[in-house]
């Protein structure tokens, strides 16, 4: 004998018409389809050039489905009808029309001093350009913050209120074709260090010469009540990248010797960060600590002989300050006790010195705006080689002549 027949399965025929996808507002999608069948509808999505999503991930009991706040990118859909257990299903429908959501930042996460932005990738984009509005400042310049993936993250973000906007670009930075900017996000607030935290200050010379090193120091105006780590940053001329140079822990004073390798204006910043509530990092604001150093497009290389100091004319110089210090040998020049020997006007490019052993010299260049460089150490000239020629005069007596080289 035989058992009763099982329930009739759905025919392996596509009874679902091709779905229609529509954009709703800026970031919403509505998907509609027609069919005479009832039951559950299994929806697959193809995002950009990716494969179809796994079956069973998106289900609807109606002949429509809506998504709000959809990340940017291009999507198409297909549908099949199934029983309640998704065991017996029809064939997949034909692929729907493609619908595109314009580029926008759909997720902003702020945790202490860390911030992460995320957006859906756009077909054909080589990179994404992000602009930030910080407090009441203008939007940051294009090309300053970029990413070649679908997110960007920052750590040690200083306190303040920020909003963000984004655009997609094809090509290389500086020579790319870019979309229009997205609508700005809402404002997001980053909590900083307590207002009672002492100010952080950078100390450095204001003007220097190319290929010269200068000492940059930074420290708190007074000891903070909490142990903090301070960090020195620089933005080089012609760049928008802020580069980390050095850090000091336990609220200590920082010292960094920086070599200036190109002319222009260097911008230095300092920031303090600390851990609160065991895990949350909070940081001070960097921009208020800015210290600028102008680097002249010339070297300053004074020299010393046994009898004088000499140096080249510096454009815009008003005076030259000659300083001296004593040291016999193996000297740490920066640690010597320097005193002013003479101040000369800009037309004087040499200075007679006594032939004392153990004396060292350095020269500061001062300009009409009252700004002076740090002292440039004077290099002691090497003695010239002497070539001696011996010959006889008309009377046959030997004569010696020397020629310097």
Please state, for a pLDDT cut of 70, what percent of the chain lies above it: 91
Spatial separation of the C-alpha atoms in residues 92 and 354, rounded to whole Å: 99
**Residue 12's pLDDT band (boundaries 50, 70, 90)?**
very low
Spatial separation of the C-alpha atoms in residues 25 and 102, rounded to whole Å: 11
pLDDT at 144: 86
> SS3 of 10, please?
coil
**Average pLDDT of 252-275?**
95
> SS3 of 335, please?
helix
Strands 291-296 and 207-209: parallel
Q: What is the 3-state secondary structure (H, E, C) of 332-394?
A: CHHHCCCEEEEEEECCCCEEECCCCCCEEEEEEEEECCCCECCCEECEECCCCCEEEEEEECC
Instruction: Choose among 84, 145, 87: nearest CA to 116.
Output: 145
**Residue 384's pLDDT band (boundaries 50, 70, 90)?**
very low
> SS3 of 334, please?
helix
Superfamily classification of domain 20-101: Immunoglobulins (2.60.40.10)
- The pLDDT tens digits of the residues spanning 286-336 come to 888 999 999 999 999 999 988 899 999 999 999 999 999 988 777 788 788
**Average pLDDT of 104-129?**
96
Query: What residues contact 2, with CB distance under 8 A and at least 6 apart?
Result: none
pLDDT at 153: 95
pLDDT at 287: 84
Instruction: Choose among 158, 162, 150: nearest CA to 186.
Output: 162
**Average pLDDT of 254-267?**
96
Query: What residues contact 379, with CB distance under 8 A and at least 6 apart?
Result: 301, 302, 303, 304
CATH entry 2.60.40.730 includes domain 200-296 = yes
pLDDT at 195: 84
Both tokens assigned to 13: 């025929």
- Rounded to two decimals, the pTM is 0.68
Both tokens assigned to 314: 């510096």
pLDDT at 249: 93
pLDDT > 80? residue 386: no
Domain spans of the chain, in order of start: 20-101, 105-190, 200-296, 303-380
More confident residue, 295 or 194: 295
Please state, for a pLDDT cut of 90, what percent of the chain lies above it: 67
pLDDT at 39: 80
For every residue of 287-317, DSSP letters joined together read GGG-EEEEEESS----EE-SSEEE----TTE
Phi, psi dihedrals of residue 110, rounded to the nearest 5° = -120, 120
Q: Are the C-beta atoms of residues 89 and 81 closer than 8 Å to each other?
A: yes
Q: Please state, as a whole number, how many other Cβ atoms lie within 10 Å of the Cβ of residue 324.
A: 19
**Residue 173's pLDDT band (boundaries 50, 70, 90)?**
confident
Q: Determine the straight-line distance between the first and last CA of the chain, rounded to whole angstroms.
A: 123
Task: Read off the DSSP letter of residue 333.
Answer: G
The DSSP bridge partners found for residue 348 are none
pLDDT at 383: 45
**Domains 200-296 and 303-380 belong to one CATH topology:** yes
- The pLDDT tens digits of the residues spanning 337-381 come to 899 999 999 999 999 988 767 788 999 999 988 899 999 998 875
pLDDT > 90? residue 94: yes
pLDDT > 50? residue 404: no
pLDDT at 392: 62
Query: Over the range 200-213, which residues count as b (16 or more CB within 10 Å of their CB) and which as e?
Result: bebebbebbbbebe
pLDDT at 277: 75
Phi, psi dihedrals of residue 183, rounded to the nearest 5° = -65, 140
pLDDT at 359: 84
pLDDT at 405: 42
Spatial separation of the C-alpha atoms in residues 283 and 272, rounded to whole Å: 6
Of 22-31, 150-159, 179-188, 349-358, the one with minimum mean pLDDT is 349-358
**Mean pLDDT over the full length of the chain:** 89
Domain 303-380 class, CATH top level: mainly beta
Spatial separation of the C-alpha atoms in residues 232 and 255, rounded to whole Å: 9
Of 73-87, 97-111, 152-166, 266-280, the one with minimum mean pLDDT is 266-280
In 88-185, beta strands by DSSP E? 99-101, 105-111, 114-119, 127-134, 145-147, 151-154, 160-172, 175-178
- The pLDDT tens digits of the residues spanning 128-160 come to 999 999 999 999 989 889 999 999 999 888 888
Both tokens assigned to 230: 């301070």
**Residue 223's pLDDT band (boundaries 50, 70, 90)?**
very high
Question: Averaging pLDDT over each range in 44-48, 87-91, 394-398, which range is the top one?
Answer: 44-48
Q: Please state, as a whole number, how many other Cβ atoms lie within 10 Å of the Cβ of residue 235.
A: 17
Q: In the CATH scheme, what is the code of domain 105-190? A: 2.60.40.10
CA 225, 231, 237, 238 dihedral sign is negative
How far is it between the farthest Cα atoms of the chain?
151
């Amino acid at each position: 004998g035989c058992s009763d027949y099982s329930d009739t399965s759905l025919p392996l025929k596509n009874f679902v018409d091709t779905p229609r996808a529509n954009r709703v507002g800026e970031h919403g999608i509505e998907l509609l389809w027609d069919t005479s069948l009832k039951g559950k509808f299994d929806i697959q999505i193809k995002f950009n050039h990716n494969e179809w999503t796994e079956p069973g991930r998106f289900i609807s009991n109606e002949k429509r489905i809506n998504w709000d706040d959809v990340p940017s990118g291009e999507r198409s859909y297909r549908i099949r009808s199934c029983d309640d257990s998704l065991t017996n299903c029809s064939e997949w429908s034909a692929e729907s029309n493609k619908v595109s959501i314009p580029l926008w930042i759909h997720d902003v996460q702020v945790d202490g001093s860390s911030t992460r932005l995320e957006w859906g990738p756009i077909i054909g984009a080589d990179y994404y350009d992000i602009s930030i509005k910080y407090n009441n400042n203008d939007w940051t310049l294009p090309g300053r913050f970029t990413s070649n993936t679908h997110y960007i993250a920052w750590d040690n973000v200083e306190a303040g209120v920020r909003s963000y906007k984004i655009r997609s670009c094809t090509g290389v930075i500086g020579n790319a074709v870019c979309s229009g900017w997205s609508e700005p996000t809402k404002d997001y607030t980053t909590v900083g260090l307590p207002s009672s935290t002492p100010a952080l200050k950078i100390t450095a010379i204001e003007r220097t010469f190319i290929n010269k090193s200068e000492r940059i120091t930074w420290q708190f105006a007074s000891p903070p009540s909490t142990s903090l780590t301070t960090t020195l940053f620089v933005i080089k001329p012609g760049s928008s990248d802020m580069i980390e140079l050095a850090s000091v822990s336990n609220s200590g004073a920082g010292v960094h010797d920086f070599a200036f390798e190109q002319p222009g204006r260097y911008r230095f910043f300092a920031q303090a960060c600390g851990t609160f509530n065991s895990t949350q990092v909070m940081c001070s604001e960097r921009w208020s600590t800015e210290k600028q150093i102008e680097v002249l497009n010339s070297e300053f290389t004074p020299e010393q002989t046994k009898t004088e100091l000499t140096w080249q004319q510096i454009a815009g110089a008003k005076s030259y300050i000659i300083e001296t210090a004593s040291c016999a040998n193996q000297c740490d020049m920066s640690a010597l006790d320097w005193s002013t020997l003479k101040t000369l006007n800009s037309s004087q490019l040499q200075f007679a010195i006594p032939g004392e052993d153990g004396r060292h010299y350095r020269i500061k260049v001062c300009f009409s705006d009252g700004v002076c460089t740090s002292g440039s150490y004077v290099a002691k000239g090497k003695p010239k080689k002497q070539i001696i020629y011996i010959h006889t005069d008309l009377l046959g007596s030997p004569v010696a002549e020397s020629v310097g080289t």
